[in-house]
Structure 1
Amino acid sequence: MAAMPALLSGFAPIWILTAIGYAAGRSGLLGAQAESVLGRFVFHVAMPAALFTMVSGSRPAAFAHPSMAAFAAGTALVTALGYAVGRRYFGRERAEAAVGGMASGYVNSANLGIPVAVHVLGDASFVAQVILFQVLLVSPVILTLLDSGTQGGGPAGGGLRRMLTMPVRNPVIMASLLGVAVSAVGLRLPAAVTHSCDVLGAAAVPTALITLGLSLHGGPADGTAGTDRAGADRAWAEGTGRVTGRVEVGVVVALKTLVQPLVAFAVAGPLLHLPDHQVLAVVLCSALPTAQNAYIYARQYGLDTGLARHSVVASTLVSMVTLSIAAWTLGPSR
């Protein structure tokens, strides 16, 4: 299959860097607080720099393209389903259900989507639109749910005040908004500033993957505070309790790797009648696995990281098959 080398080249950094993080965690090389420190570095420093660089040099008007409507439809439906299933069937509170929704519909568009798009589609222009869509529209919604779900409970005015001031308090949203402002006014920043942001932002993805690998080794920082290892193993085996069970991960991975691309195909093909190459782009991007951002967000907000962590790993493995099938059935050689 012609697309297989591209898929393997895209997946290789994910597995290698995650494995390095796991090995570092298992050996204790980086110390007991490595996962916590690196997670904060990604969320507060590297990721905002990467998002600012990306958004400030883009044109958000590209969202008006019909292809984006098809991708957005699949993302919105699956994210909402992931959130609703977590709330109704797995007893998740609002914030943890938001992580489930993100794990169900937020695609790994950067470090996996770009190489796959370049090799399979021939260019990464649609992936760039997907990245902006997730950064500017999906992330703020998820982060609002996380913020309100972890800080709520006060008076109504306080909750409204927190929501209105969240862009100022959240570095991811603030960096995105600053990027939009720079793009809108056509401001050209000094080369020293842009280069510094580029260098810093380049650390976001590899550090996030190292942090993800550290979390796979387990320990107190794995998001299961208050649950001993034996209890965690029992909860995993039973699929119940505060620790993520196989059933919940299976549902999230099915939504991510099967339902989302199928919805995108239905909208792009039978409904909007887009050209074949656009249908392929929409389905491929929708079939990408869960982004490690879901784990980073859960980690930052002090939530159970099990669902995000296992969804990233499992969906990445499953998507090697689903992406290959999509490229084979919808590609020009079919």
Structure 2
Amino acid sequence: MQSLLLLLPDFSLILLGVVLRRHLLTADELWAAIEKLVYFVLFPALLFNVLASAPIDFSSALPLFGSGFAVLLAGFALGWLGRPLMGLPAVAFASRLQCAYRFNTYIAIAIAGKLHGTLGVATMGALGGAMVPLANILAVSMLARHGQGNPLRELARNPLVLATLAGLAFNAGGLELADPVQSFLKRLGDAAVALGLLAVGAALRWGKVGGRLAGSCWLLAVKLMMMPALAWWLGRALGIEGVAFDILVLFAALPTASSAYILAMRMGGDGPGVAWLISASTLLAVGSLSFWLNLLG
């Protein structure tokens, strides 16, 4: 129950986004603009601010990054193993495979902050930022053979990757942000979490799942249960403890990112099928995240 209460404010914002999109702010252009603002301005400001100013032990972060890398690749591989269950053409399968390993950064930062404050946000920001390039390479490479896209170009202009690298470099260089600059970035970051979660809710879509239901259930099980279970085992095996261990398991247990739908549509993939999986994983994550957070204590 305590874990569920921890998640309640953030998932309430997602629910509010659903209601606003259906009944008050119904224009697609408005939500597209909000998503763009969060993605290109507010969220990069949050990541840069916490990574530039938080105390980060770069030597101890290597096992965390290595574990995150392994868990993400495992999610991709496990999702691929479910292909016979899908009953889908290659491009539709490539679109949906993203939902087995891509992660919702907005939910990640919100919950990490609740668990461990600024250090939790900084740790999740560093881990998520480090995993964004790999997730994008896997997704874009799979779709590029059927649609259009250039993995290197996608990464070079990804604002989350750029903000993460800039923040880590600033921190490693021993530099300090001036107080007015830090306050300015903090205000942008505060807006990022609330607007980002509202945008997640507004982006949820339901419709026909398509293909075989067993295939969709497999992808959801990989994302919400198998990946965090692997993260738990790997973290213990490598001796990862404390905040880093909690963040690793939370990272692995996150629902699928709404950007998977955007990429599928932009590259000629199965947008409706991906939208269904994102919506299902977000809804089911209320229970699955409560389960994993309860185990973390």
Instruction: From 48, 51, 68, give the equivalent of 1:52.
Output: 48
Report SS of the residue matched to 1:189: coil
User: Does residue 140 of the first structure (1) align with residue 140 of the second (2)?
Assistant: no
Compared with structure 1, are the counterparts of its residues 8 and 62 closer, same or farther at alpha carbon in structure 2 (3 Å cutoff)?
farther
For 2:129, the aligned partner's letter is V
Instruction: From 306, 329, 334, give the equivalent of 2:276.
Output: 306
Instruction: From 79, 84, 88, give the equivalent of 1:82.
Output: 79
For 2:203, the aligned partner's letter is S
Structure 2 spans left out of the alignment, 5+ residues: none
Note if contact 1:80-1:101 (Cα within 8 Å) is conserved in structure 2.
no
Instruction: From 185, 191, 194, give the equivalent of 1:203.
Output: 191
Report SS of the residue matched to 2:110: coil
Report SS of the residue matched to 2:176: coil
Compared with structure 1, are the counterparts of its residues 212 and 277 closer, same or farther at alpha carbon in structure 2 (3 Å cutoff)?
closer
Note if contact 2:21-2:202 (Cα within 8 Å) is conserved in structure 1.
yes
Q: Tell which deviates more after alignment, 312-321 or 98-107.
A: 98-107
- Cα distance in 1 for residues equivalent to 2:32 and 2:286: 23
- Cα distance in 2 for residues equivalent to 1:319 and 1:112: 10
- Cα distance in 1 for residues equivalent to 2:184 and 2:132: 24
- Cα distance in 2 for residues equivalent to 1:190 and 1:69: 33
Q: RMSD in angstroms over aligned alpha carbons?
A: 3.8
Instruction: From 316, 328, 334, give the equivalent of 2:286.
Output: 316
Compared with structure 1, are the counterparts of its residues 196 and 167 closer, same or farther at alpha carbon in structure 2 (3 Å cutoff)?
farther
- Cα distance in 1 for residues equivalent to 2:276 and 2:18: 15
Compared with structure 1, are the counterparts of its residues 322 and 113 closer, same or farther at alpha carbon in structure 2 (3 Å cutoff)?
same
Instruction: From 226, 236, 245, give the equivalent of 1:259.
Output: 226
Which residue in 2 is equivalent to 1:171? 159
Note if contact 1:107-1:286 (Cα within 8 Å) is conserved in structure 2.
no
- Cα distance in 1 for residues equivalent to 2:282 and 2:61: 30
Shift in Å at residue 172 of structure 1? 1.9
User: Does residue 188 of the first structure (1) align with residue 176 of the second (2)?
Assistant: yes
Richer in helix (by share): 2
Shift in Å at residue 139 of structure 1? 0.4
Shift in Å at residue 205 of structure 1? 2.3
Compared with structure 1, are the counterparts of its residues 151 and 35 closer, same or farther at alpha carbon in structure 2 (3 Å cutoff)?
farther
Note if contact 2:102-2:135 (Cα within 8 Å) is conserved in structure 1.
no
Shift in Å at residue 17 of structure 1? 0.8
User: Does residue 281 of the first structure (1) align with residue 246 of the second (2)?
Assistant: yes
Report SS of the residue matched to 2:175: coil
CA displacement, residues 25-69 of structure 1 (integer Å, 9 cap, x when unaligned)? 221435342332222222222222122223223436155465665
User: Does residue 296 of the first structure (1) align with residue 222 of the second (2)?
Assistant: no
What is the TM-score with the length of structure 1 in the denominator?
Answer: 0.69
Note if contact 1:100-1:308 (Cα within 8 Å) is conserved in structure 2.
yes
Note if contact 2:47-2:160 (Cα within 8 Å) is conserved in structure 1.
yes
Which residue in 2 is equivalent to 1:111? 110
User: Does residue 22 of the first structure (1) align with residue 18 of the second (2)?
Assistant: yes
Shift in Å at residue 11 of structure 1? 0.9
Q: How many residues align?
A: 287
Report SS of the residue matched to 2:265: coil
- Cα distance in 1 for residues equivalent to 2:284 and 2:293: 14
User: Does residue 61 of the first structure (1) align with residue 58 of the second (2)?
Assistant: yes
Compared with structure 1, are the counterparts of its residues 262 and 74 closer, same or farther at alpha carbon in structure 2 (3 Å cutoff)?
same
- Cα distance in 1 for residues equivalent to 2:185 and 2:232: 36
Compared with structure 1, are the counterparts of its residues 186 and 166 closer, same or farther at alpha carbon in structure 2 (3 Å cutoff)?
farther
- Cα distance in 2 for residues equivalent to 1:165 and 1:130: 25
